[in-house]
Amino acid sequence: MRSLFFAGLLSCGSLVAATAISGGTHRRADHVSPRPHIVYSPKSPSTAPADPKPRCKTCFVETHGDGVTDDSEYILKAFNECNNGGHVVFREGETYIVGTAMDWTFLKSIDIDIQGEILFSNDTAYWQANSFPFVFQNVTSFFKLGGDDVFIYGGGTLNGNGQVWYDAYAADIYTLRPVLIGIDGLKNSIISDLVLRYSPQYYHFIANSSNVVFNNIDIAGGSTNPKVTAKNTDGWDTYRSDGITIQNSVINNGDDCVSFKPNSTNVLVQSLFCNGSHGVSVGSLGQYVGHYDIVENVYVANISMHNATDGARIKIWPNTPSALSGDLQGGGGDGRVNNITYTDWIIDNVDYAIEVDQCYGQKNLTLCLEYPSPLKITNVLFNNFKGTASNKYQPQVANFACSSETACSNILSTNFDVVSPNNTNEAYCLNFEQSALDGVTCTTVFKGFN
């Protein structure tokens, strides 16, 4: 068996000869990746991004190398050895098997350099019993990432082994599918230059975190079974978090490209290529009775949206019990959506370029209007949208639906130039003023449930 890991001292800048821990042979071919240089454009985060401290020690994570045996013990020991000032390396060309739920919320002042592949086991029974639960929409995770001054990069891959989960969910919608990267209490950190594949559910769930940057993330993965869909594979979901930046990434998935869940504030999303998604979404909000949901100060710019159900989206549950599906239901919550900007978008084969929906999960429009949402939507700008919608709802290209005349205020579209394939630009408008919506012609005929 190989040694557990190598630990080498650094003069906080240059690697000296490493020393093997617990025996083993030193491998001079081992290398550390340089930290990526991150450029923020077109906008800088409202909070200064983290400036990670130098690291003075290096640990190379070992693996059993047989593609079967759980390497989780090796990973945890390397993290503990190089925490508080070290650099952990997952070697290039190696596959690390993870079959144990791990709590990584203790991390502090550490670089995690993923050059190889981290592959999560397909033991669905184990993960359903042992993955970490969050308190929102049945979310669980393979591991919990948290701490302070954490920098993760390296160009390697995290693989969620998703097909077994897509099949399991198709057979039973109450299957608890882990998210690929579950974050709880991470602050002043950066995650960059990673490849994410085949997540069972969301690719990222970011909870209780602040001042975290995601940069240059490559997301892809769908079902190989033509009878089964990879569902709920959001790129990022933010929850109870502030100061999150998501940028310079490519997302090929089957649900929201990015979704701002309750109590997401001061979020910057920019320079994304999204394909096959459900758009960049505020919400869903107002799902739980007695909860006050806030999404505020969100800026979404320079987005290229392709082959999607929605582009820019706001989805609010009505003030009456509603069921979108057997495992997703709710309504009756309060809150506010305020100061949201969607600007500079390319639309390509998207069903609705813009959708504001205060009747989310409720197909009975009469019932939705009878019980309007108490959650207010204010100060929203949709600016500079260009391109072509799909033909699904043509002649409509957008949907603006408020559940009452007082629930929405100061919601504007400007410089909107999106048409359907037959060159029309109608929008369904409910409790919206035509004068606020540049570039669309309002109609009261709703086509969204077709």
CA distance readout (Å), 287 to 277, 284, 364, 367, 391? 22, 7, 17, 16, 31
**Mean per-residue pLDDT for 276-299?**
96
* Cα–Cα distance measured from residue 284 to residue 314, given in angstroms and rounded to the nearest whole number: 7
* Cα–Cα distance measured from residue 295 to residue 309, given in angstroms and rounded to the nearest whole number: 22
What's the pLDDT at 94? 97
As annotated, the active-site residues are 278
The token pair at 333 is 């919550």
What's the pLDDT at 29? 62
Q: What percent of the chain has pLDDT over 70?
A: 93
* Cα–Cα distance measured from residue 193 to residue 114, given in angstroms and rounded to the nearest whole number: 9
What's the pLDDT at 446? 85
* Cα–Cα distance measured from residue 231 to residue 324, given in angstroms and rounded to the nearest whole number: 14
CB 184 within 8 A of CB 145: yes
**Mean per-residue pLDDT for 406-410?**
96
* Cα–Cα distance measured from residue 128 to residue 178, given in angstroms and rounded to the nearest whole number: 8
CB 371 within 8 A of CB 398: no
DSSP 8-class letter at 436: G
CB 280 within 8 A of CB 300: yes
**Mean per-residue pLDDT for 262-282?**
98
What's the pLDDT at 361? 87
CA distance readout (Å), 220 to 253, 269, 273, 363? 6, 19, 12, 31
Between 347 and 323, whose confidence is greater?
347
CB 215 within 8 A of CB 250: no
What's the pLDDT at 59? 98
Beta strand extents in 62-138 (DSSP E only): 86-90, 95-98, 102-114, 117-120, 132-133
Which pLDDT tens digit goes with each residue over 25-83? 344 468 999 999 999 999 999 999 999 999 999 999 999 999 999 999 999 999 999 99
**Mean per-residue pLDDT for 232-255?**
98
* Cα–Cα distance measured from residue 234 to residue 216, given in angstroms and rounded to the nearest whole number: 16
What's the pLDDT at 12? 55
Between 368 and 6, whose confidence is greater?
368
CB 439 within 8 A of CB 425: yes
pTM across the whole model: 0.94
Least Cα distance to 214 among 172, 258, 274 occurs for: 258
Which pLDDT tens digit goes with each residue over 186-243? 999 999 999 999 999 999 999 999 999 999 999 999 999 999 999 999 999 999 999 9
Phi then psi for residue 171, to 5 deg, are: -85, -30
Phi then psi for residue 101, to 5 deg, are: -70, 130
CB 424 within 8 A of CB 395: yes
Which pLDDT tens digit goes with each residue over 121-145? 999 999 999 999 998 888 999 999 9
CB 140 within 8 A of CB 177: yes
What's the pLDDT at 1? 39
* Cα–Cα distance measured from residue 27 to residue 134, given in angstroms and rounded to the nearest whole number: 41
The rounded mean pLDDT for the chain is: 93
Task: Tally the residues of the chain.
Answer: 450
Q: In 3-state terms, what secondary structure has residue 126?
A: helix
Domain boundaries along the sequence of the chain: 256-450
CATH superfamily for domain 256-450: Single-stranded right-handed beta-helix, Pectin lyase-like (2.160.20.10)
